[in-house]
């Protein structure tokens, strides 16, 4: 496969086979992750969990990824290890397999943490390989890469609704086999990237375009923007189904289909954001995402079921449109630190969303799920 990739990819321009393979594997990786939050109603009923315990599971998954991803990115910036992509996918496989057979809540937490470890290993190095294969179209390449991830997040609730809920938790073990196939594909991508790494190392490094202080300030602002977006998305992923069940008396399957609308909107936004960002510049996309989503988020808790579905899709689309632009902008600020930037924005900021989700679980236990969504 590595030979085929090298032969079919043009010498200049995006190398679509590599990018497509990374996107599909990102989809598989994030299907494994989204299955965790998608089966929360099932786990809550089976293990008699509180909202606080649900939030702690999100915390265990996201903070594991948060703590490890910047460290992995820092190490791989100095010593690129593209073949580690397959190892990350294997960790996700082990985590989902653990969830399928867990006899108790502590083992569920262990499964969530294994999925977080898989995310920590996968994202920094795969983001670097996607940039290498971009042919200079960094926004489009980042969007295609992230489209797979957001598509995987959107598919998770559907798989949970139509396979896990009717067939039971053990079916997760069969779904985990997707990760084994992904691991094999990523091993071949790693071989391809290893061949490109030496050529890239021979080129002189780019100098930063701004002073170190201004770069640090800019990265901090971008990280705060990503954190606020992840506060919202992590909370929606964890509690939107419970809100819909509580407010509209939906079935678990119906609520997961609505969650799919939100996550599907995010997948569309990620793809459009990168393509548009390559044409008009990433900063304009970032401003649109920040300001454009506000009226829809304020309306969401106060409308009927049909309008909730429409708003969920629009919120996901606008909210996610800035993420490729933010990552590309940050990578351009710090040339040669692709792994660290990916670790910070896929990992640290993502983990902060997990903290918010855990805290909101405690609030939901005390004040009710409707109060959380109004807040």
- For residue 8, what pLDDT is reported? 39
How many angstroms separate the CA atoms of 285 and 256, rounded? 29
Residues 226-277 have pLDDT tens digits of 888 888 887 887 788 888 998 898 888 888 888 889 988 888 888 888 788 7
pLDDT surpassing 50 at residue 311: yes
How many angstroms separate the CA atoms of 135 and 16, rounded? 10
Residues 92-138 have pLDDT tens digits of 999 999 999 999 999 999 999 999 899 888 888 888 888 888 887 88
- For residue 354, what pLDDT is reported? 66
Sign, CA torsion 341/89/313/250 = negative
Residues 193-232 have pLDDT tens digits of 877 766 555 555 555 566 778 888 888 888 888 888 888 8
CA distances from 92 to 14, 100, 116, 290, 295 (A): 28, 13, 8, 32, 37
How many angstroms separate the CA atoms of 77 and 125, rounded? 9
How many angstroms separate the CA atoms of 124 and 121, rounded? 7
DSSP label at residue 103: -
How many angstroms separate the CA atoms of 120 and 90, rounded? 12
Read out DSSP for 341-369? HHIIIIIIHHHHHHHHHHHHHHHHHHH-H
pLDDT surpassing 50 at residue 30: yes
Burial classification of residue 357, based on how many CB atoms lie within 10 Å of its CB (0-12 exposed, 13-18 middle, 19 or more buried)? buried
How many angstroms separate the CA atoms of 227 and 209, rounded? 25
Q: What is the mean pLDDT of residues 68-87?
A: 82
The per-residue pLDDT of the chain, averaged, comes to 82
pLDDT category, 167, cuts 50, 70, 90? confident
């Amino acid at each position: 496969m590595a030979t085929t990739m090298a032969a079919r990819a043009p010498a200049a321009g995006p190398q679509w086979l590599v990018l497509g393979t990374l996107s599909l594997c990102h989809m598989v990786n994030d299907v494994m992750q989204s299955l965790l939050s998608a089966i929360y109603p099932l786990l809550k009923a089976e293990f008699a969990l509180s909202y606080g315990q649900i939030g702690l599971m999100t915390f265990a998954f996201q903070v594991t990824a948060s703590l490890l991803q910047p460290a992995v990115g820092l190490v791989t910036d100095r010593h690129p290890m593209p073949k580690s992509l397959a190892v990350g996918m294997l960790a996700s496989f082990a985590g989902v397999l653990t969830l399928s057979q867990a006899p108790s809540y502590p083992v569920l937490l262990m499964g969530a943490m294994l999925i977080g470890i898989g995310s920590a290993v996968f994202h920094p190095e795969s983001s670097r390989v996607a940039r290498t294969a971009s042919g200079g179209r960094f926004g489009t390449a980042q969007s295609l890469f992230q489209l797979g991830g957001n598509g995987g997040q959107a598919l998770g609730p559907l798989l949970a609704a139509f396979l896990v809920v009717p067939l039971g938790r053990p079916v997760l073990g069969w779904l985990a086999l997707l990760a084994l196939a992904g691991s094999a594909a990523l091993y071949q991508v790693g071989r391809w990237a290893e061949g490109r790494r030496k050529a890239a190392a021979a080129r002189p490094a780019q100098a930063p375009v701004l002073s170190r202080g201004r770069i640090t300030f800019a990265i901090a602002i971008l990280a705060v923007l990503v954190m606020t977006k992840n506060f919202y998305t992590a909370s929606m992923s964890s509690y939107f189904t419970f809100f819909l069940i509580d407010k509209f008396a939906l079935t678990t399957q119906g609520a997961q289909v609505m969650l799919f609308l939100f996550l599907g909107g995010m997948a569309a936004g990620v793809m459009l954001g990168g393509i548009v960002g390559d044409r008009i510049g990433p900063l304009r996309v970032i401003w649109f995402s920040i300001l454009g989503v506000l009226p829809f988020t304020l309306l969401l808790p106060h409308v009927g079921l049909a309008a909730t579905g429409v708003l969920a899709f629009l919120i996901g689309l606008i909210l996610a449109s800035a993420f490729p632009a933010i990552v590309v902008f940050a990578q351009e600020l710090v040339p040669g630190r692709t792994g660290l930037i990916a670790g910070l924005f896929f990992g640290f900021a993502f983990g902060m969303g997990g903290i918010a989700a855990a805290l909101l679980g405690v609030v939901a236990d005390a004040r009710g799920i409707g109060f959380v969504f109004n807040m």
